[in-house]
C-alpha cells in the first residue's frame, strides 16, 4: 500500500493506493473522521461485486448503501431527489459523511450530493476504476 500526500496546507489529504483494502478501510476512515454515520453511494455493477464485504469495509459505522443504476446515461439531475430523500431517511446530519464507492459516475454524483446536502457534508472516494 502506498500513501501520497496532497500538500494543501490545512486542506492537505492523503491518497491511499493499494489492493484488497477492505479490511483496513475502517482504520483509515477513523483517522480522518470521528463520526459514526456513513452514506455509501455505489452503482449496480460495483454493488453486485462488493455487497458481501460491506460489513468488513464499513463495520463499526452506522452505514446505509444507496445503489444507482450503472452507466453514464444515469448521471443526471433527475436522480438527486431520490438520493436526498435517502439521505434524509438515513438521518444524515452535517457531521456525517458520504462515501463514493465506484467509478467516475458514482464519484461525480456522490460528490455533488455531499457538496449540496445541508450546505455540504464530509466526502471521501473509494474509486474502483483507474479513471475515477
pTM for this predicted structure: 0.90
pLDDT digits (tens, 9 = 90+) for 37-81: 999 999 999 999 999 999 999 988 999 999 999 999 999 999 999
CA distance 4 to 1: 10
Cell numbers found for residue 63: 452505514
Among the listed residues 38, 84, 78, the one whose alpha carbon sits nearest the alpha carbon of residue 58 = 38
Local structure of 1: helix, strand or coil? coil
Amino acid at each position: 500500500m502506498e500513501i501520497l500526500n496532497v500538500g494543501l496546507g490545512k486542506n492537505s489529504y492523503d491518497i491511499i493506493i493499494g489492493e484488497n483494502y477492505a479490511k483496513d478501510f475502517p482504520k483509515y476512515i477513523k483517522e480522518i473522521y470521528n463520526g459514526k454515520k456513513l452514506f455509501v453511494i455505489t452503482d449496480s455493477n460495483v454493488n453486485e461485486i462488493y455487497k458481501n464485504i460491506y460489513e468488513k469495509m464499513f463495520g463499526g459505522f452506522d452505514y446505509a448503501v444507496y445503489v444507482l443504476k450503472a452507466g453514464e446515461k444515469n448521471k443526471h439531475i433527475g436522480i438527486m431527489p431520490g438520493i436526498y430523500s435517502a439521505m434524509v431517511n438515513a438521518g444524515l446530519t452535517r457531521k456525517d459523511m458520504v462515501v463514493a464507492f465506484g467509478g467516475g459516475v458514482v464519484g461525480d454524483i456522490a460528490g455533488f450530493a455531499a457538496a449540496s446536502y445541508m450546505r455540504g457534508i464530509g466526502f471521501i472516494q473509494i474509486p474502483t476504476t483507474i479513471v475515477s
